[in-house]
Amino acid sequence: MLKKSLVATAVAAAALVPLSQAQAADYVVDTEGQHAFVQFKISHLGMSYILGSFEEFSGEFTYDENDLDASTVEIEVQVDSLNSNHAERDRHILSEDFLNASEYPTATFTSTGFESEGDNEGTLTGELTLHGETQELEMPVTLIGEGDDPWGNYRAGFEGSTMITLSDYGIDMSDFPEAMHELELYVVFEGIRQ
């Protein structure tokens, strides 16, 4: 249920975290090599957890270490690519009861700002659109690493996580325990400099 948010936040993090070797450049999120993930964790009735991911998404970002305000990131997630390793549950989550993927097939994240906190960490802000609703999102992000890869590319990798209140996106969880009203969104991925 947390979608592109995750993905978007990680990419945005990559776009905005100051890096010693960074140059103004465009990056594309590496989804082909399975080096990017948009995942979620939500309580199951306050007794356990449901873990899942969105397996189809795309994104790109621009980073300029001399002008962080000019850095941008955009991510799009295909909602029906949700996978919680339980087909019947996935159909229910994608139904009108929750994500309504037939009416809202994509989730998007667009960055609006970044505040550096030093040591390759900071807080990313942006707009997450999910289930037809757009809300501002804040996510702490961290640079995992950057450098040349064995195939002649330059890469940067980031991770971030945040909590999302589902009712903020018009998803009614009132019939479920309070522990299920929020989910944790976790994103991690590499971008390839173009």
Distances (CA, A) of 83 to 1, 49, 73: 10, 14, 25
pLDDT for 64: 60
Counting Cα atoms < 13 Å in the Cβ hemisphere of 141 gives 36
Task: Output the pLDDT for position 190.
Answer: 87
Q: Tell which residue, 117, 120, 14, 4, has the closest CA to residue 55.
A: 4
Residue 174 has pLDDT above 80, yes or no: yes
- Check residue 145 and give its pLDDT: 85
Q: Is residue 39 within 8 Å of residue 6, measured between CB atoms?
A: yes
Please say whether the beta carbons of 171 and 133 come within 8 A: no
Of the candidates 180, 178, 138, the one whose C-alpha atom is nearest the C-alpha of residue 161 is 138
**Domain 4-193 CATH assignment equals 2.60.120.10:** no
Which pLDDT score is estimated for 7?
Answer: 41
Q: How sure is the predictor about 121, in pLDDT bands with cuts at 50, 70 and 90?
A: confident
pLDDT at residue 16 above 70?
no
